Structure 1
Amino acid sequence: MSVQAERTHQKSSFTTVIIPALLLALIVRIFLFQPFNIPSGSMIPTLLIGDYLFVSKYSYGYSRYSIPFSPDLFSGRIFAAMPERGDVVVFKLPTDNKTDYIKRVIGLPGDKIQVKHGTLIINGEEVKKERIEDLALEGPTGRVRNLPQYRETLPNGVTYRVLDTVQEGISDNTEVYEVPEGHLFMMGDNRDNSTDSRFLNEVGYVPFENLIGHAQVIFFSLGEGAHFWQIWKWPTAVRGSRIFDLVR
């Protein structure tokens, strides 16, 4: 075989392998699972900065936001299924339809949501909130902070932990929000450090169409200050205890 023929054969083999692999990866990303990383602390203690997680794309059906770059191919959702109260969801920010946010579903269409003195109220009923042990949170410098932590239990029985670090903070007392049809009310678990549906001009009610998927499992986690590509930092930065944790 000549050199030219050998190069042509190698190029053909490369194309035969790479193109199907890229197509398979694209199909998985659109229809099954998409990876996300957590850049902010708005979902502490459930999710920490540096967590990497898989989001299921099929849980709520598919919209144009399920596709990379969100092409305007169709409106609404295909195979639509409404989230359950308490689900942790990735969605496109309604104010720009581009930025990815991750929050917890608190209000469903028609619900009335309010916060009074740091207590969540859904349809006139206070959500059970219990003080539990402090969260020992290590920062990028290694300094550990003990933060007040609570357990909330939603009307459907879903339980999770929240932080309430500032008593009577700016978002601890709100108006009554009535969730419109076709929309959801989202809140971060780090209640005093989350820009969410309580701030109508910044997030507000999230259209059902804007949902990307349901956060399912943490597949990797690095301490603050370390990046995924900095392999040399992995031995000391990897949070091994969080790997394969389910997102609840």
Structure 2
Amino acid sequence: MSESTGILHTVKETIKTVVYALLIAGVFRTFFFQPFWIPSGSMKDTLLIGDFLFVNKMAYGYSYASCPSIIIPRFGIDVDAEDFCGVFKGGNDRLFGSEPERGDVVVFRHPVTGRDFIKRLIGLPGDQIQLRNGVVFINGEAAAQNQDGFFIETMEHQGPEGLLPQCQNGAVGIGSDCQKERFIETLPNGVSHGILNIGRRALDNTGVFTVPEGQYFFMGDNRDNSSDSRVPQAARGVGFVPYEDIVGRADRIMFSSAGRSMLAFWTWRSDRYFKAIE
């Protein structure tokens, strides 16, 4: 074998290895688990900016939304799940489907933009949902809220986007304590989880939302800093989310970094590694 032939053979084998690795990764991401990085504070303090988790795609079965999206703005790459599997969209059903449960933390595709969101499932098909003074009423019954002290974080730029937190204790300076009231909310099925309160907001009081069949109502745990089902899609909110737009369930945080970059090892939050999501 000549030297040029040997080099060509090596190049071919390398290409084959890369292609096989990409295929295996694609199958893994499509059918089993999808990596998800928390970009915003809408789910504090359940999920913090910089938490890294895997979304369990087996939890609710598969739809077109199970296909991966590949978005790398730096290189101009924006390949959507619909580009791969859009032919399967429209039936609002799932293969091997099972119903999500109230209180699950769920990743879903925004029904309009197609971007992945992560929120808590509050309303099931047929439910009537309303907020009164910040308290969630489900089919006319209040979800109990018990005060649980304060969530305190440092006022500083968070994550790659450099977002600043909102504080209940007013406009505090960089490096100061930013605090929010924390409550434990208990849903009708017994699921309890933390929620945060920043202050009085317009969405603390709403009309009655009747969740259509085959759709769901989601809210962020950081109630005063969340774009969710309380705002209709026409007003650039989430609105109701169809069954087929659900990607999967978030069960456990695998890794967490408080810094602007994952490489900033001194900002890693080791106390959040492998933490169950409640």
Q: Secondary structure at the match of 1:30?
A: helix
- Uncovered stretches (5+) of structure 1, i.e. residues with no partner: none
Q: 1:67-108, CA deviations, whole angstroms, 9 ceiling, x for partnerless residues? A: 132231213321111100000111111123x11111000000
Match of 1:100 among 109, 116, 119: 116
Match of 1:244 in 2: 274
Are residues 1:177 and 2:209 paired?
Answer: yes
What do you get for the CA RMSD once the two structures are aligned? 1.4
Measured after TM superposition, the shift of residue 16 of structure 1 is 3.6
Match of 2:151 among 120, 124, 135: 135
- Uncovered stretches (5+) of structure 2, i.e. residues with no partner: 69-79, 157-173
Q: Secondary structure at the match of 2:239?
A: coil
Once structures 1 and 2 are overlaid, which stretch shifts more, 19-28 or 183-192?
A: 19-28
- In the TM superposition, 1:1-248 aligns within 5 A as 1-68=1-68, 69=80, 70=82, 71-75=85-89, 76-96=93-113, 98-140=114-156, 141-167=174-200, 169-200=201-232, 201=234, 202-224=237-259, 226-228=260-262, 231=263, 233-234=264-265, 236-248=266-278
Q: Amino acid of the residue matched to residue 195 of structure 1?
A: S
Distance 2:24 2:112 in 1: 32
Q: Amino acid of the residue matched to residue 206 of structure 1?
A: V
Distance 1:211 1:173 in 2: 27
**Under a length normalisation based on structure 1, what TM-score does the superposition of the two structures give?**
0.93
Q: Secondary structure at the match of 2:225?
A: coil
Distance 2:2 2:125 in 1: 68
**Under a length normalisation based on structure 2, what TM-score does the superposition of the two structures give?**
0.83
Q: 1:2-61, CA deviations, whole angstroms, 9 ceiling, x for partnerless residues? A: 211220231233134222211110000000000111111110111111111110111111
Change (3 A) 1:2 1:142: farther
Distance 1:197 1:185 in 2: 6
Distance 2:155 2:46 in 1: 16
Measured after TM superposition, the shift of residue 62 of structure 1 is 1.0
Distance 2:42 2:124 in 1: 21
Work out the percentage of aligned pairs sharing the same amino acid. 44
How many residue pairs get matched?
A: 241
Measured after TM superposition, the shift of residue 142 of structure 1 is 4.0
Q: Amino acid of the residue matched to residue 103 of structure 2?
A: G
